[in-house]
Amino acid sequence: MHVDYADLEKTIASLTHGETDEVALMATLACEIHHADDRFDWTGFYRVTEPGLLKIGPYQGGHGCLVIPFDKGVCGVAARTGETQLVPDVDAFPGHIACASSTRSELVIPVRNREGDVIAVLDIDSDQPDAFTETDAARLDAILQKVFGTL
C-alpha cells in the first residue's frame, strides 16, 4: 500500500483543526502518516528542545534515539540546515546514526512554525532501500506547513 496523499491531507486537516498544542499535533501526525504506507517502518518527530539539540517526540514504530545533536546523523543535518534530507541508502550517509539496524532509507523534513523557526524534524525510516521519492518529501512538507505553519 502506498499513501494516498489527498486522503491523508483531508484526514489530518480534520483531526488537527483548531489544535495548537505542538505535541498533540505531532502525536496525531506520527500516527496517521505511519499507518498510511507500508514503506514507513518508523515515523516520528525529534523536537528542538535547546539550541543544537533534538529530543525524541511522539512516534510510531520501534524505539528511537532519545537525543540527537544537530551535528550528528540525518536528523541533525535536517535540523541544522533547515533542508529536507532524502537518503536512499543510510549506509552511504556519512555520520548516519543507526537507531534501528533495520533502517535502509530515510526521509527527514524540517518542521517550521509561523516565524519560520525549525521546531522539530519529521523522521521517517524504511526497512526498504530507496523507499522515498521527491513526491513523498514535497507532499509531507506541505502537510507539515499547513499544520505547524499556523502556530
> Which of 1, 16, 4 is closest to 144 using CA atoms?
16
What backbone torsions phi and psi does residue 42 show, to the nearest 5 degrees? -145, 130
Taking a C-beta distance cutoff of 8 angstroms, is the pair 73, 46 a contact? no
- How confident is the model at residue 96, as a pLDDT? 80
CATH numbers and ranges of domains, the chain: 5-148 (3.30.450.40)
The pTM of the full predicted model, rounded to 2 decimals, is: 0.95
Reported as a single tens digit per residue, the pLDDT across 4-54 is: 999 999 999 999 999 999 999 999 999 999 999 999 999 999 999 999 999
Taking a C-beta distance cutoff of 8 angstroms, is the pair 52, 70 a contact? yes
Mean per-residue pLDDT for 67-74? 95
Taking a C-beta distance cutoff of 8 angstroms, is the pair 8, 32 a contact? yes
